[in-house]
Structure 1
Amino acid sequence: MTESLIQLPTAGEPVIDTFDRMIRTGPIVPYELPGGVRAWMAVSHQAVSEVLAGDGTLFSKNTRNCPAMHDGTIPADWPLRVLTDADHLLNMDGNDHMRMRRAIARAFTPARVAQLEPRIDQLTNDLIDKFADQPEVDLVDSFTMPLPVAVICELFGVPASDRPKFRGWTAALISHNSTGEQTQAAMQEMVGYLSGLVADKHSDPGDDLTSDLVRAQPEHGLADAELVEMLWIIIVAGHETTMHLLGNAVVALYTYPEQLAAARAGDRWAEVVEETLRYRNAACAMFNRYALRDVRIAGVDIPAGAIVGWYAGVGRDPQKYPDADVFDLDRDHSDQLGFGRGPHFCLGAHLARLESRIALATLFGRFPGLRLACDPTEIPYAPQFMTNGPLCVPVQLQPAD
């Protein structure tokens, strides 16, 4: 690796700009994670495709295949260890991964997700009812954050009074400003809560996915500890990324008002979701893969044991998408990599797409005169690099008659 590495995040630079700079550097580039940890990031469409195709053969998801995690190179208090060292789906390979994935995958099939549409529609309208008579609101605080939290937590049987806790825990885990102590504390609290939830479902099961998973434990050989690890990663990922997907979509539509007009005129909200996934994906740095041997990716040599990530916003690669920094509903989204590919394809992709389509169609349908209360360039973005989205989206409301 070279001595001068791009830092992720780079102080004072929006993370999307850092990644755009990385894309111009090469297909897969060396960079530096918080704490001075060195890694590689696949940023071109070709490089990301090759990395994802190498799951289980060229790359492992388990830290046992990363010497730096065990020889003292990466310290024990590295803040990201709570994510890289946990025994959850994102860190598993082969049979262990398939066993865990089968246990939950049936809940996220297109047919099962489609059955949720009436309830998501109701939750969406209930949230809008709470602020519909206000002249101006922050959509993040009032809509794009609470809706995904409500959907995923209700799905897994988390009581409404406990749902705000997950925002605090997630913020501590995701922010690059968190210390190792802060991330460990957040993880311990969340795991403790979910352990209690699983225990409650053992004694008093209900009509929710956690109860379904408890009932299916014998079939899948699923221990309570494994179930807890599965729950936290799904609940955290299931609301964090959808929250930012919605916020990014709203900002993009007001940055390109002709695209908003096209979406409204043609009911093209599904295409808005797909183009947002390409233009400004909520997920950014997916970093936990480890080279099983010396490999060559997109013509670049990567040493065995190296940490290799991939950029989920790869839709900004200008070699794949001409004028990649322009939001355009007419693009071909058939080769979309925003949710990954292969054995680790995002389980919640169908839910995120459905939820986002309903939310955007309902929001703009109920407020045909809705407009940003500031210039799109003034929107502040979250100080993190694993996900990417606005901290606030102030809007002025003009409800339908």
Structure 2
Amino acid sequence: MTPLDPTVKSLITDPYGAYDTLRAKAPVHRVVGPDGLPVWLVTRYPDVRQALADPRLALDRTHAAPGNYRGFALPPALDANLLNMDPPDHTRIRRLVARAFTPRRVAALRAPIERVAEQLLDAVEPSGRADLLASYAAPLPITVICDLLGVPEEDRRDFRAWTDTLITPDPTRPEQARDAVKAMLGFFTGLIARKRAEPADDLLSDLIAVRDEEGDPGTEGTGDRLSEDELTSLAFLILFAGYENTVHLIANAVLALLTHPEQLAALRADPELIEGAVEEFARFDGPAPLAIRRFPREPVTIGGVTVPAGETVLLSLASANRDPGQFTDPDRLDLRRRENGHLALGHGIHYCLGAPLARMETALAITALLRRFPDLALDVPVERLRHRPTMRARGLLELPVRF
């Protein structure tokens, strides 16, 4: 088996060369995953896209063969989320969320996002240099998603610390991740109780109303329902995923522009390119190299390889998005790329719930940044930049810039 070792530097700093090699050799590989267990890694675009929408590939861990999967255990009140669900539960919860997380609600966030972006840039402008990750790419989405859910401002610093711990846990100190999960569970339980007692104009209050209107799933004779654990897990997922993915998408986009000056110049000359540019940023260096793991309910043939039931399948979004069989000159950043059916935000029924918000945040963040700082540049050689030591996310540890 081919080792897929997260400690190998090239797989963290530049995974694309490794994926190029794997993709050229075969569409599917039996490899040793980050947790030391064997997994099946799918690398080519057509196979990844088809597998993302294949109902035979389950997200529910109960379909994993005994001893085949070792994942981070969350308490039931945080684990009953869409990343662990298949239809009909997945369908039921997505339908309920759609009643509260509407396009109109997302559109209403445009002005607040622009305001927060300007405030963050005001704060760093006098210094002439900054860690753009810590001072801009991270606080912008955490502010937006916390405003969306109605998280009090005084709780946001703690939440960011808990989230960062879970994104990149220290393997030598497993108690940190456990403590962060415990703290987040207590936080969400208390917040839901307060919102239930005093509803406000926010997404969490609306989700609580949907849950309470429909009743408890244990109530016989009701229709679509949301349990208390599902409600808590949904709030956790929206806040966690809405923060993590957007941080990396914004920071990776800035880095891509600063290392491709001709594309940066094109965007400065024509700001109307931004919508297509966001799609290209997501394809070129997206926030999630791998889709959430899947487990075949039955033997499934992918790329000519039959994967037994219950084994773990990893779908490489990073590899698919650089597949030369799908994209012309895939290793080139091209903000005017016309055909860009990238898979960075998923495909099928598990397509990213917050994709419209992530797109809008990234577009507004990049637009404001380029307008405010016309001489923006990296403040360190690009080879000194460090990525998070994980294969689960494609994100920087810092992004020093000057302006």
TM-score, scaled to structure 2: 0.90
1:129 aligns with 2:126: no
Contact 1:34 1:176 in 2 (8 A): no
1:185 aligns with 2:191: no
Match of 1:175? 168
Task: Tell me, in whole angstroms, the C-alpha distance in 1 between the residues paired with 2:102 and 2:8.
Answer: 40
Q: 1:255 aligns with which of 259, 267, 270?
A: 259
* Residues 303-314 of structure 1 aligned to structure 2 (within 5 Å): 303-313=308-318, 314=320
Contact 1:80 1:180 in 2 (8 A): no
Task: Tell me, in whole angstroms, the C-alpha distance in 2 between the residues paired with 1:107 and 1:269.
Answer: 28
Match of 1:24? 21
Q: What one-letter code is carried by the residue in structure 2 that aligns with 1:193?
A: F
Q: What one-letter code is carried by the residue in structure 2 that aligns with 1:208?
A: D
1:347 aligns with 2:341: no
Q: What one-letter code is carried by the residue in structure 2 that aligns with 1:361?
A: T
Match of 2:34? 34
Task: Tell me, in whole angstroms, the C-alpha distance in 1 between the residues paired with 2:32 and 2:163.
Answer: 23
Task: Tell me, in whole angstroms, the C-alpha distance in 1 between the residues paired with 2:7 and 2:169.
Answer: 11
Task: Tell me, in whole angstroms, the C-alpha distance in 1 between the residues paired with 2:84 and 2:16.
Answer: 24
Match of 2:57? 59
Give the 3 Å change call, closer, same or farther, for CA 224–165 of structure 1 in structure 2. same
Q: How far 1:211 sits from its partner (Å)?
A: 0.6
Task: Tell me, in whole angstroms, the C-alpha distance in 2 between the residues paired with 1:333 and 1:16.
Answer: 27
Task: Tell me, in whole angstroms, the C-alpha distance in 2 between the residues paired with 1:395 and 1:360.
Answer: 14
Match of 2:219? none
Match of 2:293? 288
Task: Tell me, in whole angstroms, the C-alpha distance in 1 between the residues paired with 2:283 and 2:75.
Answer: 25
Task: Tell me, in whole angstroms, the C-alpha distance in 2 between the residues paired with 1:274 and 1:96.
Answer: 30
Q: How far 1:83 sits from its partner (Å)?
A: 9.6
Q: Report SS of the residue matched to 1:13.
A: helix
Q: 2:10 aligns with which of 9, 13, 31?
A: 13
**Aligned-pair identity (%):** 37
Q: 2:72 aligns with which of 80, 84, 87?
A: 80
Q: What one-letter code is carried by the residue in structure 2 that aligns with 1:312?
A: L
Match of 1:396? 402
Q: How far 1:166 sits from its partner (Å)?
A: 2.3
Match of 1:384? 390
Q: What one-letter code is carried by the residue in structure 2 that aligns with 1:34?
A: P
Q: What one-letter code is carried by the residue in structure 2 that aligns with 1:165?
A: D
Contact 1:28 1:41 in 2 (8 A): yes
**Could you list the runs of 4 or more consecutive aligned residues of structure 1 that deviate by over 6 angstroms after TM superposition?**
none
Task: Tell me, in whole angstroms, the C-alpha distance in 2 between the residues paired with 1:188 and 1:118.
Answer: 34
Task: Tell me, in whole angstroms, the C-alpha distance in 2 between the residues paired with 1:123 and 1:330.
Answer: 28
Q: What one-letter code is carried by the residue in structure 2 that aligns with 1:196?
A: G
Q: How far 1:272 sits from its partner (Å)?
A: 2.1
Q: How far 1:168 sits from its partner (Å)?
A: 2.1
Give the 3 Å change call, closer, same or farther, for CA 176–27 of structure 1 in structure 2. farther
Q: How far 1:309 sits from its partner (Å)?
A: 1.8
Q: How far 1:312 sits from its partner (Å)?
A: 2.5
Task: Tell me, in whole angstroms, the C-alpha distance in 2 between the residues paired with 1:83 and 1:28.
Answer: 33
Q: 2:269 aligns with which of 262, 265, 275?
A: 265
1:337 aligns with 2:343: yes
Deviation string, structure 1 residues 47-76 (Cα, Å, up to 9, x no partner)? 11121121x2x21111111123xxx455xx
Contact 2:60 2:84 in 1 (8 A): yes
Deviation string, structure 1 residues 338-396 (Cα, Å, up to 9, x no partner)? 11111111010000000100010001101112211123332211111111111111111
Q: Report SS of the residue matched to 2:10.
A: coil
Contact 1:79 1:180 in 2 (8 A): no
Q: 2:323 aligns with which of 317, 329, 337?
A: 317
Task: Tell me, in whole angstroms, the C-alpha distance in 2 between the residues paired with 1:36 and 1:317.
Answer: 27
Task: Provide the aligned length of Structure 1 versus Structure 2.
Answer: 386
Give the 3 Å change call, closer, same or farther, for CA 110–206 of structure 1 in structure 2. closer
Task: Tell me, in whole angstroms, the C-alpha distance in 1 between the residues paired with 2:376 and 2:354.
Answer: 29
Task: Tell me, in whole angstroms, the C-alpha distance in 2 between the residues paired with 1:172 and 1:143.
Answer: 19
Task: Tell me, in whole angstroms, the C-alpha distance in 1 between the residues paired with 2:323 and 2:102.
Answer: 30
Q: What one-letter code is carried by the residue in structure 2 that aligns with 1:271?
A: G
Q: Report SS of the residue matched to 2:178.
A: helix
In structure 1, list runs of 5 or more residues that go unmatched: none
Match of 1:195? 189
Match of 2:150? 157
In structure 2, list runs of 5 or more residues that go unmatched: 215-223
Contact 2:146 2:239 in 1 (8 A): yes
Contact 2:278 2:359 in 1 (8 A): yes
Q: What one-letter code is carried by the residue in structure 1 that aligns with 2:210?
A: A
Q: What one-letter code is carried by the residue in structure 1 that aligns with 2:193?
A: A
Give the 3 Å change call, closer, same or farther, for CA 191–8 of structure 1 in structure 2. farther
Contact 1:22 1:43 in 2 (8 A): yes
Task: Tell me, in whole angstroms, the C-alpha distance in 1 between the residues paired with 2:28 and 2:6.
Answer: 17
Task: Tell me, in whole angstroms, the C-alpha distance in 1 between the residues paired with 2:187 and 2:156.
Answer: 11
Bigger shift: 224-233 or 8-17?
Answer: 8-17
Match of 1:227? 231
Match of 1:91? 84
Task: Tell me, in whole angstroms, the C-alpha distance in 1 between the residues paired with 2:254 and 2:387.
Answer: 13
Task: Tell me, in whole angstroms, the C-alpha distance in 2 between the residues paired with 1:60 and 1:149.
Answer: 30
Q: How far 1:36 sits from its partner (Å)?
A: 1.1
